[in-house]
Amino acid sequence: MQRPTFLARCAKCGTSFSRPEQSDFAYGTLLFSTSDGRRHAEVNALEEFPSRVGRLVAEDDFWDALARLADPIHGQTLVADRPCPHCGSTHLADWAGEQTGICEVETVAFERAALLNDNELTSRIHDKLTW
């Protein structure tokens, strides 16, 4: 799917970059990014697998747990805290500024994690189990 991108600025390195933002109407969804901050993917918390994870983790840990369980995109793991694509900092000085264009946003998939039972899922969430 395509999403509009908006200007953001990193608080650490000062670089300005474009990134998609959540639609105000996209209830229950969040954008993750690859660990290098260059690609974005949308996840819907109301779908079957995220709902299952929601029953296993505390609310505060939910998005991080989902990102950890997501299938990699182009070999990169996903993170819920979208980092600066230049320095990797997750501290932004500004975001959702001027609209800059449009980018392709993928849909987060959980094909591998969906095969795990609840115990395995919990271990994976707490990083005790590697793929």
- Our finding on whether 8 is near Zn ion (CB under 5 A) is no
Number of residues that bind Zn ion (CB under 5 A): 7
Among 4, 13, 51, 119, binds Zn ion (CB under 5 A): 13
**57 Cα distance to chain centroid:** 17
Give the DSSP letter string of 71-89: PPBTTB-EESSPPPTTT--
For 130, residues 6+ apart whose C-beta sits below 8 A from its C-beta are none
In this structure, the chain runs to a length of 131
- Our finding on whether 9 is near Zn ion (CB under 5 A) is no
Query: Interface residues for Zn ion in 64-123 (CB under 5 A)?
Result: 84, 86-87, 89
- Our finding on whether 10 is near Zn ion (CB under 5 A) is yes
The residues of the shown chain that bind Zn ion, judged by CB under 5 A, are: 10, 12-13, 84, 86-87, 89
